């Protein structure tokens, strides 16, 4: 079954703790993205990666970190520096070629900070 | 500045009525625009793109460069169309998203 897998679906964290969200894809896509989805604000870009071992900050990167050591994987760490981490997080990937704007999304991870 | 605006947070129409979800954009150059949809408990997915000029699930969207708009239309709404709809603009390897419109189809 091809696609993007995010885990965990639900995660609870105490204040002051870091947490890592997993994103794996088997679509052989080069580009991967992390978004934060809040009600009424649409999708806001946290980080993106066009190729292995390279990534760029998005609009709201503060308090987050990523790595891209493998093409298939793009984990997101929500650090204790993120002031308002409770949110729904979406991972996406994009293939190369003509369909430049078509993103494929995971089911999302909902993080709640207690 | 590049921007996508969806002026309606919520749109509620009766089944069988026409639907129009508005999207306006700000972009210097030739835009590449998309509509994405998120049904309840399903992942966000591409609905249609302006380049394809296609109709998906009865929805169409026409790019109007003069009005900088890319409104999504359907002549007769169905209950299964209830979902969250996002308009997006592709630029510099990423998508710029509107805030989304929640569409509710009343029976």
- Answer yes or no: are the C-beta atoms of A90 and A38 closer than 8 Å: no
A42, A55, A102: best to mutate for the B interface, most B CBs within 10 A: A42
Rounded to a whole number of angstroms, the distance from the CA of B44 to the nearest CA of chain A is 6
Q: What angle do CA A57, B30, B47 make, to 5 degrees?
A: 75
SS (H, E, C) A63-80: CEEECCCECCECCEEECC
Residues of B in contact with A108 (CB under 8 A): 43
How confident is residue A109, by pLDDT bands cut at 50, 70 and 90? very high
What DSSP letter does each residue of A28-60 carry, written as one string?
--SEEEEEEEETTTEEEEEEEEEETTEEEE-TT
- The full length of chain A comes to 114
Residues of A in contact with B45 (CB under 8 A): 105
For residues B50-55, average pLDDT: 80
How confident is residue B15, by pLDDT bands cut at 50, 70 and 90? very high
Does the pLDDT of residue A98 top 60, yes or no?
no
Which residues touch A79 (CB under 8 Å, ≥6 apart)?
A: A18, A63, A64, A65
User: Could you tell me how many helices (H) and strands (E) chain A has, helices first?
Assistant: 0, 11
Residues of B in contact with A44 (CB under 8 A): 97
How confident is residue A104, by pLDDT bands cut at 50, 70 and 90? very high
How confident is residue A81, by pLDDT bands cut at 50, 70 and 90? confident
More confident residue, A2 or A34: A34
Residues of A in contact with B9 (CB under 8 A): 40
Q: What angle do CA B93, B83, A102 make, to 5 degrees?
A: 20
For residue A95, give both structure tokens: 């293939």
Distance CA B43, CA B103 (A): 16
Distances (CA, A) of A97 to A31, A60, B4: 12, 27, 24
Cβ-defined contact of A43 to B97 (cutoff 8 Å): yes
Distance CA B67, CA B71 (A): 11
pLDDT computed for residue B27 by the predictor = 92
Rounded to a whole number of angstroms, the distance from the CA of B63 to the nearest CA of chain A is 16
For residues A1-30, average pLDDT: 91
Q: How many contacts, defined by CB atoms under 8 Å, are there between A and B?
A: 44
How confident is residue A42, by pLDDT bands cut at 50, 70 and 90? confident
Rounded to a whole number of angstroms, the distance from the CA of A52 to the nearest CA of chain B is 15
How confident is residue A2, by pLDDT bands cut at 50, 70 and 90? low
Does the pLDDT of residue A99 top 80, yes or no?
no
Residues of A in contact with B90 (CB under 8 A): 100-101
Q: What is the pLDDT of residues B57-72, one digit of tens each?
A: 999 998 998 999 999 9
Does the pLDDT of residue A100 top 80, yes or no?
no
pLDDT computed for residue A1 by the predictor = 58
Which residues touch A30 (CB under 8 Å, ≥6 apart)?
A: A50, A51, A71, A94, A95, A96
Contact status of B44 with chain A (Cβ, < 8 Å): yes
């Amino acid at each position: 079954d091809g696609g993007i897998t995010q885990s965990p679906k639900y995660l609870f964290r105490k204040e002051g703790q870091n947490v890592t969200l997993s994103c794996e894809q088997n679509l052989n896509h080069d580009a991967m993205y992390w978004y934060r989805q809040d009600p009424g604000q649409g999708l806001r870009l946290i980080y993106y990666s066009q190729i292995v071992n390279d990534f760029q900050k998005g609009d709201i990167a503060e308090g987050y970190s990523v790595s891209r050591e493998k093409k298939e994987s793009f984990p997101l760490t929500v650090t204790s520096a993120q002031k308002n981490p409770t949110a729904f997080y979406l991972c996406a990937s994009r293939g190369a070629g003509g369909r430049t704007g078509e993103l494929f999304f995971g089911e999302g991870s909902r993080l709640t900070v207690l | 500045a590049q921007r996508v605006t969806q002026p309606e947070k919520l749109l509620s129409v009766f089944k069988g009525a026409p639907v129009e979800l508005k999207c306006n954009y700000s972009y210097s150059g030739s835009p590449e625009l998309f509509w994405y949809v998120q049904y309840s408990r399903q992942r966000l997915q591409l609905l249609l793109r302006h380049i394809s000029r296609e109709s998906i699930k009865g929805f169409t969207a026409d790019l109007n460069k003069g009005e900088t708009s890319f409104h999504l239309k359907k002549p007769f709404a169905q209950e299964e169309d209830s979902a969250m709809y996002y308009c997006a603009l592709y630029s510099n390897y990423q998508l710029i998203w509107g805030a989304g419109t929640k569409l509710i189809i009343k029976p």
